[in-house]
């Protein structure tokens, strides 16, 4: 115990010599710090073994329950990582192991240092990647764990501590970059959630089929959701200015309008150049969306009357004429009528008939407007379903209002 008392004493003395530039002092300081690390390694051994066992998975990846079992082990690791004693040990290690030339702004605290085990053992959850990867956070965490094993096995401890310190400095740099990018992604997802709810508010306000009481309930629910979203954003970014939300909405609206216009222009251009691939992709998307809104019983009927591959072959062979396309669109509109609210059907039928009567051009490219109409009707159905779900979530049956 006396030797450790001396090591502690020397460690404190050397810390007070940080501002001196003499190389001998720096070398002595580093040596004493290494000896201090060796003493703390004895305290760290038990903690490391427990963490390592939980992140060194030997599960069978072919097991149908693999992800469930992996998730259970991950939960156990997180629970241990939150243990106060474990955090205290890693906080002490952080103060000891981080040295120059590492900058103070990328030094990790005890809680961040423990994340090495989560990145190493469970990249599927922490990095959304598999183990055989070139991700620098994962590879550096893996290397650190391997070095720790060597130190605990008393393999050339002084040299391995030097290597460990270098890799910790490197890990801290990669970790900060990863956390910054992860934060940016989460904030963007939250902003998009707020934007989606804002659009839902606009659609609710503009929907004449919803009475005032129902509108108020839906709008109150959406406002509450938006405030919750803003609170979460402020956890990531304390100085977040809510005025940014208005600018964000205007930006996304402009982008959506531009992309929407460019999207349909591209399809029209392809049509004129006898390239029908993008057009048949649109047909496939319509088919998928209809199937999402109806039962599987309609699948066989759609496959018979809405055969995308057959339509594509007919188009390329110039065998698909105006009447064929009108029949297809009328069939899709008839399906939409069965899916939408009854109050919407007369309005939609009137708009559809007007569109058909104004389209006297024999070229198939002019029927892009038909696709736009059908897409818009499917969108309205999905928005109405979303409104019903909101009402149901607050315990109100919209059909009894």
Q: What is the DSSP string of 154-168?
A: TSSHHHHHHHHHHHH
Distances (CA, A) of 130 to 186, 214, 243, 395: 21, 47, 40, 42
pLDDT in tens, the chain (401 residues): 333 343 444 445 445 444 444 555 555 555 555 545 545 556 677 888 888 888 877 777 788 888 888 888 889 999 989 988 888 888 877 777 665 544 445 778 888 888 999 999 888 888 877 766 788 899 999 999 998 888 878 777 778 878 888 888 888 888 888 888 888 888 888 888 888 888 888 888 887 767 788 888 888 888 888 899 899 888 888 888 888 888 888 888 887 777 777 777 888 888 778 888 888 888 888 888 887 777 666 777 777 778 888 888 888 888 877 788 888 888 888 888 887 777 677 888 888 888 887 766 656 556 778 888 888 888 777 766 665 555 555 454 544 44
**Which stretch of DSSP H or E encloses residue 267?**
helix 244-272
| Overall pTM surpassing 0.95 (yes/no) | no
User: Can you list the pairs that 223-230 forms with residues at least 24 positions away whose Cβ atoms lie under 8 Å?
Assistant: 225/197, 226/194, 226/197, 226/198, 229/190, 229/193, 229/194, 229/197, 230/194
Q: HSE-up of 307 (CA within 13 Å, CB side)?
A: 10
Q: Return the domain boundaries, the chain.
A: 49-178, 185-243, 245-400
Question: Rounded to an integer, what distance in angstroms lies between the CA atom of residue 80 and that of residue 78?
Answer: 5
The answer to whether the beta carbons of residues 14 and 22 sit under 8 Å apart is: no
Question: What does the H/E/C string look like for 61-122?
Answer: CCCCCHHHHHHHHHHHHHHHHCCHHHHHHHHHHHHHHCCCCCCHHHCCCHHHHHHHHHHHHC
Q: And the tokens for 155?
A: 């393999």
The contacts of residue 328 (CB under 8 Å, 6+ apart) are 305, 306, 311
């Amino acid at each position: 115990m006396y030797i450790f008392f001396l090591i502690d004493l020397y460690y404190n003395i050397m810390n007070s010599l940080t501002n001196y530039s003499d190389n001998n002092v720096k070398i002595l300081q580093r040596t004493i710090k290494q000896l201090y690390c060796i003493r703390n390694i004895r305290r760290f051994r038990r903690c490391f073994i427990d963490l390592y066992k939980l992140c060194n998975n030997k599960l069978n990846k072919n097991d149908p329950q693999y992800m469930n079992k992996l998730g259970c082990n991950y939960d156990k690791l997180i629970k241990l990582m939150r243990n106060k004693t474990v955090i205290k040990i890693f906080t002490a290690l952080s103060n000891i192991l981080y040295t120059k030339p590492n900058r103070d702004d990328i030094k990790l605290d005890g809680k961040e240092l423990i994340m090495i085990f989560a990145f190493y053992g469970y990249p599927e959850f922490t990095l959304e990647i598999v183990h055989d990867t070139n991700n620098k956070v994962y590879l550096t965490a893996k290397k650190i764990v391997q070095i720790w094993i060597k130190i605990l096995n008393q393999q050339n401890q002084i040299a391995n501590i030097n290597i460990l310190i270098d890799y910790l400095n490197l890990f801290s740099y990669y970790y900060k970059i990863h956390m910054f990018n992860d934060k940016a992604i989460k904030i963007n997802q939250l902003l998009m959630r707020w934007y989606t709810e804002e659009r839902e508010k606009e659609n609710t306000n503009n929907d004449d089929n919803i009475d005032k009481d129902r509108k108020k309930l839906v709008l109150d629910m959406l406002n509450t959701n938006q405030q919750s979203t803003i609170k979460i954003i402020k956890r990531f970014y304390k100085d977040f200015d809510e005025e940014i939300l208005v600018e964000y909405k205007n930006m996304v609206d402009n982008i959506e309008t531009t992309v929407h216009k460019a999207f349909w222009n591209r399809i029209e251009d392809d049509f004129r150049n006898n390239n029908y691939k993008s057009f048949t992709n649109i047909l496939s998307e319509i088919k998928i969306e209809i199937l999402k809104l109806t039962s599987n019983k309609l699948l066989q009927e759609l496959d018979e009357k809405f055969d995308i591959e057959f339509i594509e072959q007919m188009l390329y062979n110039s065998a698909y004429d105006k009447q064929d396309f009108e029949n297809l669109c009328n069939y899709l509109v008839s399906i939409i009528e069965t899916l939408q609210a009854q109050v919407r059907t007369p309005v939609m039928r009137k708009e559809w008939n007007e569109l058909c009567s104004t389209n006297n051009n024999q070229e198939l490219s002019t029927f892009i407007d038909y696709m736009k109409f059908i897409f818009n009707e499917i969108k309205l159905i999905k928005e109405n379903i979303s409104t019903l779900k909101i009402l149901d979530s607050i315990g109100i049956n919209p059909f009894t209002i």
